Amino acid sequence: MKKIFSVAAFVVFSLSSGLVRSQTCTDTLWAHVYHSYRLYVQDSCMSVTGKIYSLTYEADGDIHIRLTVDPPYTYMLNASNYSGEYGKLVCEPLCATTCTQADAIASCAGFTNTVFIPAPGEYVRITGSYVTDNDHGWNELHPVSKIEIIPEGVQNTSVTTPEITVFPNPANDYVNFKLSEKPSSPVYITISDEIGRLAGQYQMLEMTDLKIKSKYLPSGKYYYHVSQDSKTTGHGTFVITH
C-alpha cells in the first residue's frame, strides 16, 4: 500500500480530470483505519466536490457517506460504485460515532474525530485519501481528513440565526435536529454523553433537517451544543432509550 508519513499539503495534477488540486490530509489518521490492509491507495490526498446522498452508520464507528460527485470527478467511480453504491463515491470519516464492533474498538482507542458530518442534501468539498476497497471493490475517500460545506448558488447575505428543535425525546433509533429556517452560514452541532465524551459532530447550511441514527449510541442522557460563526446559538439535552 502506498502511504505518506507526515501531515503535509499536496498539489496534484490529474490527467483524468484535467484539474489542479491543492489540499491537506492528515496521515496520522491511518493508525485508526479498521483493517487498512484492504485499501489500495491511488492518490494519497485529494479533494472532491458534490452533494451528500446518504449517511450510513457503521458498527466500527465510521460513517459511510455516499457522495454524488460533480461531473469532473466521475472518473473516480468504478463498476462496483455503480452496482453496489448507487453510482456514488464512498467517503468515510473515522470513528465519528460510537464503535460497537468488538474487533474494531482498538482502531478508535485514543482517537477523537474532528470531522463535522454534513446532512444529506448538503453540497460539500471532501478531502481524503483516494483508495480502492479490495474487499468490496468500490472506490472511496478513506480516511477523510476534512469536510466543508460549500454554498451552492447565490446565497442570502442577511444574517439568520435559526432556532433548533430536537425530537423525539426520548429517542430510540433516530434523533432529529430541525432548524427553524435555512441558516446564512454553517451551523455546527456537537453531541456528548453525560461524562463529556464526544458522540458526534455535524454541520448544516443548505438543509434544515438532520436525522441522526442513534442505534450505536448507548442508552442515557446526551448534551448537544449548537454554534454558528463561533458563537453559541443553542444547547440542550435529549435521552436515548433502547
Answer yes or no: is pLDDT of 13 > 90: no
pLDDT tens digits along 56-69 = 999 999 999 999 99
Q: How confident is the model at residue 24 (pLDDT cuts 50, 70, 90)?
A: confident
Answer yes or no: is pLDDT of 51 > 50: yes
Q: How confident is the model at residue 119 (pLDDT cuts 50, 70, 90)?
A: very high
Q: ∠ at Cα 155 (153, 159), nearest 5°? A: 165
141 φ/ψ angles, rounded to the nearest 5 degrees:
-100, 115
Answer yes or no: is pLDDT of 23 > 70: no
Q: How confident is the model at residue 152 (pLDDT cuts 50, 70, 90)?
A: confident
Q: What is the mean pLDDT of residues 138-158?
A: 83
Answer whether 139's CB lies under 8 Å from 78's CB: yes
* Burial (Cβ within 10 Å: 0-12, 13-18, ≥19) of residue 11: exposed
Q: How confident is the model at residue 157 (pLDDT cuts 50, 70, 90)?
A: low
E strand intervals along 62-154: 63-69, 89-91, 117-118, 123-133, 139-149
Residue range(s) of every CATH 2.60.40.3080 domain in the chain? 164-240
Q: What is the mean pLDDT of residues 16-37?
A: 76
pLDDT tens digits along 160-187 = 889 999 999 999 999 999 999 999 999 9
Q: What is the mean pLDDT of the chain?
A: 88
- CATH 2.60.40.10 assigned to domain 164-240? The reply is no
Give the predicted TM-score (pTM) of the model. 0.84
* Coil, strand or helix at 14: coil
Residue range(s) of every CATH 2.40.50.140 domain in the chain? 8-149
Q: How confident is the model at residue 221 (pLDDT cuts 50, 70, 90)?
A: very high
Q: How confident is the model at residue 216 (pLDDT cuts 50, 70, 90)?
A: confident
Radius of gyration of the chain (CA): 18
CATH of 8-149, one of 2.40.50.140, 3.40.50.300, 3.40.50.620, 3.40.50.2300: 2.40.50.140
Q: Which amino acid is it at 66? A: R
Q: State yes or no: cis peptide before 71, omega within 30 of 0.
A: no
Q: Which amino acid is it at 188? A: Y
36 φ/ψ angles, rounded to the nearest 5 degrees:
-65, -20
Kindly give, in sequence order, each residue whose CB lies less than 8 Å from that of residue 61, ignoring residues fewer than 6 positions away: 34, 94, 95, 96, 97, 98, 99, 100, 101, 104, 107, 108, 216
* Cell matching residue 113: 474525530
